[in-house]
Amino acid sequence: MARRATTDGKAGTRGGGRTVTSYDVAQRAGVSQSAVSRCFTTGTSVSPQTRERIMKAAAALGYQPNAIARSLTTKRSNLVAVVVANLGFNPELTATLSRLFASRDLNLLLFTLDHEEDADRVVNQLWQYRVDGVLSATHLPRGHIEQLAKRRVPVVFLNRVYDDIAVNSVCCDQVEGERWLVDRLWAAGHRRFAIVSGPDSSLVSRQRVSGARDRIAALGGDEPAVAIGDFTYDGGRAAMRALAAEARRPDAVICANDMMAIGCIDEIRLEMKLKVPKDMSVVGFDGAAPGRWGSYALTSVRQPVDVMIEAAIDMLTARVDNPAMATEKRVFSGELQIGVSARLG
Chain contacts with its own copies (rule: CB under 8 A): 1-5, 9, 12-13, 15, 64-69, 71-72, 75-77, 79, 82, 86, 89, 91, 94-95, 98-99, 102, 107-112, 114, 118, 121, 124-125, 127-130, 132, 150-153, 233, 237, 262-263, 265-267, 269-270, 289-290, 293-296, 320, 323
The least CB distance from residue 223 to its own copies, in Å, is 30
The least CB distance from residue 50 to its own copies, in Å, is 21
The least CB distance from residue 307 to its own copies, in Å, is 19
The DSSP annotation for 114-172 comes to SSTTHHHHHHHHHHHTT-SEEEESS---HHHHHHHHHTT--EEEES---SSS--EEEEE
Nearer to its own copies by Cβ, of 264 and 344: the residue is 264
Nearer to its own copies by Cβ, of 207 and 303: the residue is 303
CB 263 within 8 A of CB 231: no
The least CB distance from residue 165 to its own copies, in Å, is 16
The least CB distance from residue 64 to its own copies, in Å, is 4
Nearer to its own copies by Cβ, of 99 and 329: the residue is 99
Which of 56, 54, 45, 47 lies closest to 22 in space, CA to CA? 54
Nearer to its own copies by Cβ, of 125 and 201: the residue is 125
Nearer to its own copies by Cβ, of 290 and 345: the residue is 290
Nearer to its own copies by Cβ, of 69 and 331: the residue is 69
CB 112 within 8 A of CB 85: yes
Burial (CB < 10 A; 0-12, 13-18, 19+), residue 100, is: middle
The least CB distance from residue 271 to its own copies, in Å, is 8
Burial (CB < 10 A; 0-12, 13-18, 19+), residue 153, is: buried
Angle between helices 174-187 and 203-218 (to 10 degrees): 40
What lies within 8 Å, CB to CB, of 116 at 6+ separation is 139, 141
